[in-house]
């Protein structure tokens, strides 16, 4: 596997674009993006489990269930098109019709996605003009992928994109991806918005299964603030233009491709955690020695979700009592007197601060130096088995409160 440039346009046959249509109040920020595949692309998707689902989630779920392939995704930031009733659904249909007209495809070949303020309706003449302009400037150059990755952001501080290649039957297959995160991040099925493109030739059911498995260990292990959004969507398009033999579960290259896809999903998930609203550093929590994978997932996620632990990370305070407390209320039964906790950073190495549930005689100065790193890692060993899981979060800062006390103004 090799990391390459180009984000979502790195695979063969994809174009993208991003521009400012005028949805966001800011006069300079891009707010619409488009991804286009020259050839019809097999598509898989995962969506929020929130009972309150945004209109685009309803639209996309229907398309992915009923259609074998799609060719375009149009995305806007600034307005989430959530809690918008029948008018919101109708606006999704209008978006798809406009994209179809501009690109010469049927509206059922178009997926839509939105992120931003909940409750407001899309201003359709702005959106439709945006779609017309996007269609004109679609390009397979890396700057087009950058524009698209920038246009989908809300309170994110930087774009999040990646591309990797992997060899399959002597063919080079490429996977590209971009996503946005920052707030209302506690994905339960996909993240706020993530888009992955590939030129691999793959069977639709195989792709969907791979995606479901992949999000469990990536996006579903990320939390910024414990709030599962109404718009969470992760969409994967695969147009087959790499020319490999159709990939199925029985293919020789299956594990290889899956590994590359999971790498992309995990990379994007970590980018979201590390750019959480107001955050100053990525907090990676690894639970080891669990009796089953699910226990390890629940414990590590409980710790990255703890407000008290997150504030302690911000304060570079090795307050391990809060970590052990968050493990304790996770719902998993374990023996507190068998727990070891180790802190690590790249610069300072590792330091075991708790052994058998009790503080070691560790140096507070070294602990503070480790907690000053980015990312900061905590390894929790519960000595109950051999299963491991990793969760990603971030610290809780003044800036998080500032961003969210007055998000709409």
401 binds a second copy (CB under 8 A): yes
Burial zone of 409 (CB within 10 Å; 0-12 exposed, 13-18 middle, 19+ buried): exposed
Q: Is 408 among the residues that bind a second copy (CB under 8 A)?
A: yes
374 lines the binding site for a second copy (CB under 8 A): no
Which is nearer to a second copy, 77 or 306 (by Cβ)?
A: 306
Using CB under 8 A, pick the residue from 24, 30, 186, 281 that binds a second copy: 186
Q: What span, in angstroms and rounded, lies between the C-alpha atoms of 211 and 209?
A: 5
- Tell which one of 39, 89, 97, 118 touches a second copy (CB under 8 A): 118
Phi, psi of 50 (to 5 degrees): -60, 135
105: contact with a second copy by CB under 8 A: no
| Catalytic-residue membership of 191 | yes
- Is 337 a binding residue for a second copy by CB under 8 A? The answer is yes
298 binds a second copy (CB under 8 A): no
Binding a second copy by CB under 8 A: which of 37, 46, 81, 84? 84
356: left (phi over 0), alpha (psi -120 to 50) or beta: left
Q: Compute the distance between CA of residue 94 and CA of residue 236 in angstroms, rounded to an integer.
A: 23
Report if residue 314 touches a second copy, rule: CB under 8 A: yes
Question: Should residue 294 be labelled a site residue for a second copy when binding is judged by CB under 8 A?
Answer: no
Residue 63, SS3 per DSSP: helix
Which of 1, 2, 5, 49 binds a second copy (CB under 8 A)? It is 49
Active site residue: 84, 191, 206, 309, which one?
191
**Residue 306 interacts with a second copy (CB under 8 A)?**
yes
DSSP secondary structure of 300-328: HHHHHH-HHHHHHHHTT---HHHHHHHHH
| Cα atoms found within 13 Å of the Cα of residue 254, Cβ hemisphere only | 12
* Torsion sign over Cα 152, 156, 159, 163: negative
DSSP secondary structure of 91-137: HHHHHHHHHHHHHTS-GGGEEEEEEEESSPPP-HHHHHHHHHHHHHH
Residue 221 contacts a second copy per CB under 8 A? no
| Other residues' Cβ atoms within 10 Å of the Cβ of residue 209 | 14
Q: How far is the CB of 311 from a second copy (least distance, A)?
A: 3
Region near a second copy per CB under 8 A, out of 168-176, 182-190, 252-260, 264-272: 182-190
Site string for a second copy, 380-399 (x = CB under 8 A): ----------------xxx-
Query: Which region, judged by CB under 8 A, interacts with a second copy, from 30-38, 157-165, 264-272, 317-325?
Result: 317-325
Residues 6+ apart with CB under 8 A from 125: none
* Residue 265, both tokens: 């999903």
Residues 6+ positions from 333 with CB-CB distance below 8 Å: none
Active site residues: 191
The contact set with a second copy (CB under 8 A) reads: 49-53, 80, 82-85, 117-119, 183-184, 186, 188, 225-230, 305-308, 311-312, 314-315, 317, 319-322, 324-330, 332-334, 336-337, 354, 356-359, 396-398, 400-409
């Amino acid at each position: 596997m090799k990391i390459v440039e180009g984000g979502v346009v790195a695979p063969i046959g994809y174009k993208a674009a991003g521009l400012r249509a005028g949805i966001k109040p800011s006069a300079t920020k891009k707010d619409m993006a488009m991804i286009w595949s020259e050839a019809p692309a097999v598509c898989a998707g995962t969506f929020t489990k929130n009972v309150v689902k945004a209109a685009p989630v309803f639209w996309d779920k229907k398309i992915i269930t009923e259609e074998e392939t799609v060719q375009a995704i149009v995305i806007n930031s600034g307005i989430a098109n959530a809690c918008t009733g029948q008018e919101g659904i109708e606006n999704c249909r209008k978006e798809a019709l406009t994209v179809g007209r501009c690109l010469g495809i049927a509206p059922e070949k178009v997926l839509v996605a939105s992120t931003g303020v909940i409750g407001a309706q899309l201003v359709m003449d702005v959106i439709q003009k945006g779609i017309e302009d996007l269609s004109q400037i679609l390009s397979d150059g890396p700057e087009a992928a950058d524009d698209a990755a920038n246009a989908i952001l809300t309170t994110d501080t930087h774009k999040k994109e990646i591309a990797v290649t992997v060899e399959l039957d002597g063919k080079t297959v490429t996977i590209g991806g971009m996503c946005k995160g920052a707030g209302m991040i506690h994905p339960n099925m996909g993240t706020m918005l993530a888009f992955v493109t590939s030129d691999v030739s793959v069977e639709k059911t195989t792709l969907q299964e791979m995606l479901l498995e992949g999000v469990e260990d990536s996006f579903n292990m990320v939390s910024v603030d414990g709030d599962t959004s109404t718009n969470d969507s992760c969409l994967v398009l695969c147009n087959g233009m790499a020319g490999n033999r159709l990939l199925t579960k029985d293919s020789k290259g299956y594990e290889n491709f899956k590994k590359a896809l999971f790498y992309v999903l995990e990379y994007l998930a970590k980018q979201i955690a590390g750019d959480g609203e107001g955050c100053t550093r990525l907090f990676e929590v690894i639970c080891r020695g669990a009796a089953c994978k699910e226990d390890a997932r629940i414990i590590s996620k409980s710790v990255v979700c703890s407000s008290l632990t997150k504030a302690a990370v911000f304060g570079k305070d090795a307050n391990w009592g809060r970590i052990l407390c968050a493990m304790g209320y996770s719902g998993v039964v374990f023996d507190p007197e068998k727990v070891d906790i180790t802190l690590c950073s790249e610069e300072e190495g590792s330091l075991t601060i708790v052994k058998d549930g009790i503080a070691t005689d560790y140096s507070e100065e070294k602990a503070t130096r480790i907690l000053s790193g980015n990312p900061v890692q905590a390894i929790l060993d519960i000595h109950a088995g051999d299963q491991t899981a990793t969760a990603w979060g971030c610290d809780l800062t003044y800036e998080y409160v500032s961003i969210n006390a007055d998000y709409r103004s």
